[in-house]
Chain A
Amino acid sequence: MESALKKAWLMMVVLTCIMPAALKAQEKSALNEAFSASYTHETKAEYSKAIEVLKKVYNETSYELNLRLGWLNYEAGQFTESAAYYNKAIDLKPMSIEARLGFALPASSVGNWNQVITRYNEVLKLDPNHYTVNYRLGSIYYGRKDYQTAFKYFEKILNLYPFDYDAMLMTAWTYFQLGKMREAKVLFQKALLNRPGDSSATEGLGLIK
């Protein structure tokens, strides 16, 4: 009994010393394999398995792993975990816009719109003319019936992309809600030039007439 324990003890010490070095050597290929497997599982909608393989090689300081786990957890419907991984990714790369856009997915899914707004405002500090973020902020405030604030964002993207369908349409509807019918009419008509017969623009024009 005594000698068996001694052998186990010796084996454990040897393993403890050797394994970290061995793991480090294999780390790179293991990471590649894990990412590759996670994509395979994702395409089959096996999100739990995709998460599982990445968790086996999980390293808290890896931006890529946190970002990917944020996405996979979001796809798996695990929004709290997803937001936590995206937050870690943002901590690791404070200038990351993609992580902030990613964070908005689970946060909006659970209705935490104030957190989405905070992250989007951070993006606008990094990139004030970011199309998607300006459009989404405009949409959030439009949904909250805060049309003045919504207009601020839609106006910006309309100036940057004057013939963009979404920018024209949402600015038109915001003008409409603000009671500026003449401006709304012009933009609804322009939206119809971009997408002839568009139902939303046609509806807007119908309401003005």
Chain B
Amino acid sequence: MTRVAVLLLFVWAIYFSGFEAKAGQTDYESLTLRLYNEQKWDSLLITGEEAINMGFDYYYMRVRTGRAAFEKQRYTRASVHLEKALEYNSGDEYATYLLYKSYEYSGKALWARWLLYNSPVSFRKSLGMPGRLPQMYLEAGPAYANHSQMYTKHRRKDAGTYSEVYQNIHSGYLLAGVNKYLGTRAGINAAFSYLNFLKRREVKITGLDSLSGEYHVFQYEYYCAPSFAISRRINISPAFRLMHVSLSNPLESSDTLVQRLIGPAGTLVYNDLAAGGEVSYLSRYVIATAGGYYIRVDKLNTTQLTGQLFVMPFGNLNLYSSSTVSYRKTVLESNYFFTQMIGLKIAKPLWGEISYTGGDFSNTGEYNLQVVYNAFDKINYRLAARLIFNVSDDLKLSIRYQRCSRVGSELFYPISGEPEINTYNYINQTFTGGIVWNLH
């Protein structure tokens, strides 16, 4: 009875006291405005989100909170608030600008493009009409291999009737390309590359001759990858690559028998090609990509399937990773290979990336066929590091070092028995410098 009476008294007291007591309510509007004017971004981000959770959800609150997140380089978090701000006041140039930059800085080029082309022309003009002129990129550098030394060390030294080996000495590489948006939903990436490999061919025919000669392999490669945004989240990009290869036989002999064994003199020309495409799905923190490719290298056909996850755990490019698993199949063999890359911001304008690839990825493509490894030698692993210097939003410089363990092979005919392939490992090191800039 006592308990019931106390409970009823309590209920009665509440009923007649009303429901409006909100003692000590914070004036979020004044507080966030003050923090915004004082540029106290840490406090503003916390207070702004607290206010929004309390129901003080409106344009100015979202813009202030979005700006605070932007200044703290929490670009994905900023984009959430700025998208909402634009729901309250669509077409607002300040919020659109911050959102555009948030998308750009968090690696969401497709969303940035989508936003831009849905904005008034006056706004695009204020940004210098990005997308009107293409983005250009250029990359070049040499590569060196210790192939000759490793061959000398590991070559078959026992008696045989015939041996033949092709060695990589060094090479040069030049890539030039453009990225151009074609309206809201389409874009095109086109590139040309030139590769010049210096190689050595050695043939030893016991009792007849021993020949050695250096020669060049020239490759002219043409790349084209249009892209189509099916929605704000899904992008499809077919890709094509034609590799025009020419090389000459450096060996000549006055002995007709030897000449028959080493092949005819003259230049050999053929085309390698690759075709396929990828589908990407963009979310705030993850970009998932699946690709499928057909690659023909010197009459050997390869089918490649690739899946990639690009993750930005903090919603920005201060720390990111890319995990790729690929399956490669030829008529002779099949295997899986994987690449793990981690990138992070080292200092304000400087980013660093390291990556490791395990498994044989010869005769396969990377980055939607932007690179095709059409050299004959198998690959054991690859270690790579890259430094990116962000000079400005429109200019990036990079240097890359790549160390690749490859498998050299020597065709060897013993005195008796079947011919053998003698394999040994060698290291190929590549140094590349690159530049990417947006034309205005």
Q: Is A207 an interface residue (CB 8 A)?
A: no
Any A CB within 8 A of the CB of B331? no
When the two chains form the complex, which single residue of B1, B8, B9, B89 contacts A111, counting CB atoms closer than 8 Å? B89
Q: Does A16 contact B (CB under 8 A)?
A: yes
A32: B residues at CB distance < 8 A: none
CB-nearest residue of chain A to B95: A111
B5 adjacent to chain A (CB < 8 Å): yes
Query: B9 touches which one: A8, A19, A55, A113 (CB < 8 A)?
Result: A8
Q: Contact at B5–A146, with CB atoms within 8 Å?
A: no
Known: A110-B59, A146-B91. A55 touches B8 (CB 8 A): no
Complex Cα–Cα for A58 and B260 (A) = 106
Please, how many angstroms separate the alpha-carbon atoms of A15 and B16 in the complex? Answer: 11
Please tell me the number of chain B residues within 8 Å of chain A, measured between CB atoms: 27
Contact A80 B56 (CB under 8 A): yes
Known: A5-B2, A110-B60. A115 touches B88 (CB 8 A): yes
* Chain B positions 71-113 with a Cβ under 8 Å from a chain A Cβ: 85, 87-92
**Across the interface, which residues of B come within 8 angstroms of A16, CB to CB?**
12
Tell whether B44 is near chain A: CB-to-CB under 8 Å: no
Interface string of B239-280 (1 = CB under 8 A from A): 000000000000000000000000000000000000000000
A145 within 8 A of B: yes
A-B contact number at CB 8 A: 58
Contacts of B87 in A (CB 8 A): 114
Chain A residue total in the interface (Cβ 8 A): 23
**Known contacts being A77-B29, A111-B60, is A144 close to B91, with CB within 8 Å?**
yes
Are B88 and A113 touching (Cβ within 8 A)?
Answer: yes
Chain B residues lying within 8 Å of A79, measured Cβ to Cβ, are: 29, 58
B55 within 8 A of A: yes
Query: Please, how many angstroms separate the alpha-carbon atoms of A67 and B29 in the complex?
Result: 22
Which of A5, A56, A144 is close to B1, meaning CB atoms less than 8 Å apart? A5
B42-59: CB near A (< 8 Å → 1, else 0) gives 000000000000011111
Are B58 and A5 touching (Cβ within 8 A)?
A: no
B8 CB contact (under 8 Å) in A9, A56, A145: A9
Cα–Cα distance between A144 and B51 once the two chains are bound (Å): 28
A146 to B48: give the CA distance in the assembly, Å.
31
Chain B CB within 8 A of A36 CB: no
Given known contacts A77-B29, A145-B122, is B5 in contact with A9 (CB within 8 Å)?
yes
Question: Chain B nearest CB: distance from A80 CB in Å?
Answer: 5
Could you give, for residues 1-24 of chain A, a 1 whenever the CB lies within 8 Å of some chain B CB and a 0 otherwise?
A: 000010011001001100100000
**Nearest-Cβ distance from residue B120 to partner chain A, whole angstroms:** 6
Residue interface mask A96-134, B partner, CB < 8 A = 1 = 000000000001001111110000000000000000000
Residue B63, interface by CB 8 Å: yes
Q: How far is the CB of B53 from chain A (nearest CB, A)?
A: 13
Q: Is the interface of B mostly helix, strand, loop or mixed?
A: helix
Chain A: interface secondary structure?
A: helix
Contacts of A80 in B (CB 8 A): 55-58
Q: Is B20 an interface residue (CB 8 A)?
A: yes
- On chain A, the residues within 8 Å of B8 by CB distance are 9, 12
Known: A5-B1, A55-B20, A79-B29. A110 touches B58 (CB 8 A): yes
Residue of B nearest to A84 (CB): B55
Residues of A near B1 (CB, < 8 A) are 5
A19–B16 Cα distance when bound, in Å, is 10
Q: Which residue of B lies closest to A16 (CB)?
A: B12
Question: CB-nearest residue of chain A relative to B121?
Answer: A145
Neighbouring B residues of A111 by C-beta, 8 Å? 58-60, 63, 85, 88-89, 92
Question: In the complex, what distance in Å separates the CA atom of A145 from the CA atom of B87?
Answer: 18
Cα-based distance from A16 to B11 in the complex (angstroms): 11
| CB contact under 8 A between A113 and B59, given known A8-B9, A145-B122 | yes
Q: How far is the CA of A112 from the CA of B60 in the complex (A)?
A: 8
* Nearest-Cβ distance from residue A206 to partner chain B, whole angstroms: 23
B225: interface (CB < 8 Å)? no
> Do B9 and A12 have beta carbons less than 8 Å apart?
yes
- Give the complex CA separation of A9 and B90 in angstroms: 59
CA distance in complex: A115, B58 (Å): 10
Least distance between B283 CB and chain A CB atoms (Å): 26
B61 touches A (CB below 8 Å): yes
The 6 closest A-B pairs by CB, nearest first: A111-B59, A110-B58, A112-B88, A113-B89, A111-B60, A144-B91
Selected A-B contacts with CB under 8 Å, 8 pairs = A8-B5, A9-B8, A55-B20, A56-B18, A110-B61, A112-B59, A113-B92, A115-B88
